[in-house]
C-alpha cells in the first residue's frame, strides 16, 4: 500500500500509521467494553474506576459541611433548642413528636422525661425514664436526671439515692457534683417567706 493524498493542499500522508491508530483504538474499545447501567439509548457510559489490590480503605471522616439534613431529626433538634431556652412546654411537644417518629431513640425519651419534669408532670416523666432505661439501661445521665426529678418533687431521700448512684459511676462529673451540692444546701436551709 502506498501513500494517498488526504489533503487538499497537496500534502501527502501515509495511511498505514492511521490504520494502526484506528485498529488500536478499536481493540481498546473491544477490551474495555461499554460500561452502562441502563438499557436506553440516551444513557451515557459510566466510567468504572480501577481499584488496585491492597488493604481495604477506611471511610472518610465526614466534614460538618457534608452532614445531611434529615427532616425526621427536626423534632429532636427543636426539642433540645426549646428546652435550652426554657420553653419546656414547647420542648415537650417536640420531644413527644420525636419519640413517635423514632421510638427507639433514647435521647428523645430522656428529653421528653426532662421536659415533663419541668412542667411538673412527674407521672409522665417516670414513664419516659422507664422507657429510656429499657432502651439503654440505667445510664449515669438518666440517674442524674431522675435525681433532679425527685428533687423537683421535694422527695430529697430518693433524689440523694439517684445522685449518689450516678456519682459512684462518674465521680468527676461536675453536673452530678453540683446537683449533690444543691441537694445538700436545700435540705439544710429551707427558706420561707416571712409572715406578714
Residue 66 pLDDT exceeds 60: no
DSSP 9: T
Fold of 138-189: 1.25.40
What predicted TM-score, i.e. pTM, was given to this entire model? 0.60
Strand ranges inside 88-180, DSSP E: none
Q: Which pLDDT value is given to residue 138? A: 95
Grid cell locating 94: 417536640
Domains 71-137 and 138-189 share a fold: yes
Q: Which CATH class is domain 71-137?
A: mainly alpha
Domain positions in the chain are: 71-137, 138-189
pLDDT value of position 90: 96
What gap in Å lies between CA 128 and CA 54, rounded to an integer? 49
Amino acid at each position: 500500500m502506498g501513500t494517498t493524498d488526504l489533503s487538499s493542499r497537496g500534502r501527502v500522508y501515509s495511511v498505514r500509521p492511521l490504520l494502526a491508530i484506528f485498529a488500536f483504538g478499536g481493540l481498546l474499545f473491544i477490551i474495555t467494553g461499554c460500561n452502562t447501567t441502563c438499557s436506553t439509548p440516551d444513557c451515557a457510559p459510566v466510567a468504572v474506576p480501577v481499584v488496585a489490590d491492597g488493604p481495604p480503605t477506611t471511610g472518610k471522616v465526614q466534614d460538618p459541611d457534608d452532614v445531611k439534613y434529615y427532616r425526621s431529626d427536626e423534632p429532636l433538634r427543636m426539642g433540645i433548642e426549646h428546652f435550652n431556652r426554657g420553653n419546656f412546654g414547647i420542648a415537650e411537644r417536640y420531644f413527644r413528636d420525636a419519640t413517635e417518629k423514632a421510638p427507639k431513640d433514647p435521647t428523645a425519651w430522656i428529653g421528653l422525661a426532662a421536659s415533663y419534669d419541668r412542667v411538673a408532670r412527674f407521672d409522665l416523666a417516670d414513664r419516659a425514664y422507664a422507657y429510656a432505661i429499657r432502651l439503654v439501661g440505667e445510664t449515669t445521665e438518666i440517674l442524674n436526671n431522675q435525681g433532679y426529678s425527685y428533687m423537683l418533687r421535694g422527695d430529697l431521700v430518693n433524689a440523694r439515692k439517684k445522685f449518689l448512684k450516678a456519682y459512684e459511676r462518674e465521680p468527676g462529673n461536675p453536673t452530678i457534683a453540683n446537683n449533690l451540692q444543691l441537694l445538700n444546701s436545700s435540705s439544710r436551709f429551707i427558706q420561707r417567706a416571712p409572715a406578714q
